[in-house]
Structure 1
């Protein structure tokens, strides 16, 4: 039977013995849905969805590390891997989500109803996502260095999570303002035929809310610290992190943005407006509409 053990220094990085069965369940779930996303990505060539696939792979690795940690609570590496690889995936999910909104706006021919020009909207939120990613990553690295830096690392992670929450709040506001204006001014529903762009917008609302709730939970977890209830009770991680993130991946899969194209492909080139190739320093996550003519 697994026993909770400290590091050689006497410091406990774990406050419980991680559940092997729970870890295995979510390894299987995330592996399955990530493979499904890989199939969709291959089929439709929607390169801006690559972060979603990478996020799913990180979840799988994170829960493999938790499974391994059941009998290795006295070793630092499994803790570092599971902590980092379950903390960062939502940031990657967000990168793809941000880019979907721009495609929805263009597909609906509603650029004039957006608070921010579509190309600028995409770049602004992706840059914010990059900042959040690196802040959280650096904080997670410090937390793994031991008791002396753990508190500092936790507050840095909190800062990164707050950036993510603020960006999601602004994102949601922009999406809802666009939705309201578009509906209010009765723009023709025929502006985009052949796809349920409105369904994609509702999908964004749903997954954004789930990620927001998860991020708020993580802020509470880190603010309460090592002696707080969330850090000492494993079930909170699964209910407020693992389950919501799995649902996010499932919902995004079934409402995959494979048909979000403007009606006139000759005059509306989404890749030129939303592509990140003109933004120095950011990995090119999006390569345009290669899925033209393909069906779900």
Structure 2
């Protein structure tokens, strides 16, 4: 039986603005732990490196509520309190990053060329992950400053910085929705017609002219690939996964709006002094988001040669290697040419020197015999 004591909130060493529930912390630690184990298992089964991102999000949530339980038993320890707070505040950023990566892979998997609003799928993933990292750092700095051991002025500044980070995250989510909507339109067009415009069949290689259906003169030479219904790669499957992305993103946005409202009301608002708000508007939405990805895992739909950027990465590496080799061979050829030129120049100098010596010798003979 765990025993702990809640102190009056007026106590300057007390880090909690209320008497926290140990049972709730343990329960959500268990819930997130089960979900984390499920995601780890799925990551092993599907063998996709990018699933590490969602595993990290689930792990941080689990660790956050584990540290929360420990902090409840040590309610005067500000370090443990800060650790649990940061883990819970920052864990959704991992889930957000996973959402970005899923859409990037969907665009790469289904569309040819793999673009949305003119942006390559590969660049979409990189761009939004870096956006997420920047937002992560801003929120981390703000979260560290909200430590109860800091002066009240510093805590307020930390709250404003954290809110700025959450605001950035929401802005990036809005841009992301525009990209998702562009992809959504392509998939809906595919769902209404066959062959589906702009949708790439999984040939297992870059499509050649023989792979693509012929087009009329009105198409102005543009290729219109057919859609491959094998391995679940149908417009219906694409829409189902896209709606999953929308659902998870909506939960993240909902949670972020709650955090913005919470921190905008100040350190000791009615929201921050009641624990149930944090569980209902943060813990529950993030748990649901992770469970959704358990039951509708992206790797169940995105399977095959174009399910990630590995083939493209391999092609890029080979192109770089070929370019480097060609550059090296070019340097060797240039060096050899310079050496040949140098040798030829030496030979010409020798010949000229030999000619001058010969002329000098003939002149001496003439002078001696008076010729």
- Shorter-chain TM range is 0.7 to 0.9
**Map of 1:205 onto structure 2:** 246
Give the counterpart of 2:130 among 115, 127, 131: 127
The 8 Å contact of residues 122 and 309 in structure 2, kept in 1 or not, is answered as no
Give the counterpart of 2:78 among 49, 55, 76: 76
For residues 7 and 308 of structure 2, what CA distance do their matches in structure 1 show?
Answer: 57
Give the counterpart of 1:46 among 48, 51, 54: 48
Give the counterpart of 1:231 among 268, 272, 281: 272
Q: Rg bigger for which structure?
A: 2
For residues 70 and 193 of structure 1, what CA distance do their matches in structure 2 show?
Answer: 52
**Map of 2:145 onto structure 1:** 142
Give the structure, 1 or 2, with the largest relative contact order (CA under 8 Å, sep 6 or more). 1
CA deviation digits over 1:169-220, x for unaligned, max 9? Answer: 1111210122124424642683453122222111100000000000111111
The 8 Å contact of residues 108 and 191 in structure 1, kept in 2 or not, is answered as no
**Map of 1:270 onto structure 2:** 309
Give the counterpart of 2:231 among 173, 178, 194: 194
Q: Secondary structure at the match of 2:6?
A: coil
Displacement of 1:12 = 4.4
Uncovered stretches (5+) of structure 2, i.e. residues with no partner? 200-226, 318-371
Give the counterpart of 2:58 among 45, 56, 81: 56
Worse overlay, 118-127 or 103-112: 103-112
For residues 98 and 33 of structure 1, what CA distance do their matches in structure 2 show?
Answer: 20
The 8 Å contact of residues 108 and 122 in structure 2, kept in 1 or not, is answered as no
Distance change in 2, residues 1:128/1:273 (3 Å): farther
**Map of 2:102 onto structure 1:** 100
For residues 228 and 273 of structure 1, what CA distance do their matches in structure 2 show?
Answer: 51
Matched, 1:118 2:121: yes
Q: Secondary structure at the match of 2:230?
A: coil
For residues 172 and 109 of structure 1, what CA distance do their matches in structure 2 show?
Answer: 17
Q: Secondary structure at the match of 1:47?
A: coil
What RMSD, in angstroms, separates the aligned Cα atoms of the two structures? Answer: 2.5
Displacement of 1:80 = 0.4
**Map of 1:32 onto structure 2:** 34
For residues 176 and 110 of structure 1, what CA distance do their matches in structure 2 show?
Answer: 17
Count of residue pairs the alignment pairs up: 274
The 8 Å contact of residues 51 and 92 in structure 1, kept in 2 or not, is answered as yes
Worse overlay, 92-101 or 188-197: 188-197
Q: Secondary structure at the match of 1:102?
A: helix
For residues 247 and 164 of structure 1, what CA distance do their matches in structure 2 show?
Answer: 20
Uncovered stretches (5+) of structure 1, i.e. residues with no partner? 279-296
Distance change in 2, residues 1:224/1:108 (3 Å): same
The 8 Å contact of residues 51 and 95 in structure 1, kept in 2 or not, is answered as yes
**Map of 1:284 onto structure 2:** none
Distance change in 2, residues 1:117/1:228 (3 Å): same
**Map of 2:162 onto structure 1:** 157
**Map of 1:288 onto structure 2:** none
For residues 228 and 97 of structure 2, what CA distance do their matches in structure 1 show?
Answer: 26
